[in-house]
Amino acid sequence: MTDQARTLRALLAHGRIIAAPGAPDALSARLIARTGFDAVYMTGLGATASRLGAPDLGLLSQTEMADQARAMAAAAGVPVIADADTGYGGPLNLRRVVDDYARAGIAAFHVEDQQMPKRCGQLSGARLVPPAEAEARLRAAVAARDASGRDMLVIGRTDALGTEGIEAALERARRYAGAGVDLTFVDGIRTIAQVEAVARGLPGPKVVSLVDGTEAAGLDLARLQDMGFSICLFAITTLLASLTAQAAALQQLRSTGRIPADAEGFDYARFSELVDLAGHQAFAHEYEA
């Protein structure tokens, strides 16, 4: 078992809901951990946006996602829950995902039931594989995890909500729980009623993802915990906040020709502390010729 998988399992055993903000990159992952969150979510949307400046339409390869996971896990120092999309192919591809994510230090990952190429769970028009194929995909992930001697948590995700409705999504999620996954996850939630339906209709440990700008985003962690959710992902909160701040600073710089003054924002000293500049320099100075 990796250390972070052990940590995540211990956190889940305590029964308190785990908040995992999404990070588009390693620096954001470090900031999330420094702010005091117990876990970080490696979102495929954020990874695609940060690496390619493109939408989440299955453009990143398995290798690129594993590289992103490795950097984020090293920077965060807390459990990272990673997006593994559809598994990037057949059972052998999925086994490679498990091996690469385990070596990267990932604590948990989710595999979804979309066809390749996949798309963001908030978008309409997702094409799903049959439930039996999705179950086989998840059994392969669990078997690969078990055979490797590693104990990352496997999350079974369904994207059926937007295309087949809540009852079909719940039926798929219940079937995926029977495939041996550790948690189930109905993605694409937008309304409070949908959150409540998942809470009522899906027994066992489960994940919810709240997306900024939706009605469901108004729910707080205490209420979600009372509903029975184990993990809450805030997939794009940091990404949107970062873009908002960057756009405002750039607009002011463009308009005035001067660097904006922000007494509450990051300056170079605060940035240096976040990236541990002093620690890096001390190590280098000790061993320089």
All domains of the chain, ordered by start, with CATH?
A: 4-243 (3.20.20.60)
At residue 262, the pLDDT reads 82
At residue 95, the pLDDT reads 94
Contacts of 1 (CB under 8 A, 6+ apart): 9, 150, 151
Q: Are 161 and 189 in contact (CB under 8 A)?
A: yes
Please tell me the distance from the alpha carbon of residue 68 to that of residue 34, in angstroms, as a whole number: 19
Provide the mean pLDDT of the chain: 93
pLDDT in tens, 143-174: 999 987 778 999 999 999 999 999 999 999 99
pLDDT in tens, 219-262: 999 999 999 999 999 999 999 999 999 999 999 999 999 988 88
Of the two residues 280 and 56, the one the predictor is more confident about is 280
pLDDT in tens, 35-67: 999 999 999 999 999 999 998 888 889 999 999
Rounded to an integer, the average pLDDT of 265-277 is 91
Would you say residue 123 has pLDDT above 60?
Answer: no
State what percent of residues in the chain have pLDDT above 90: 86
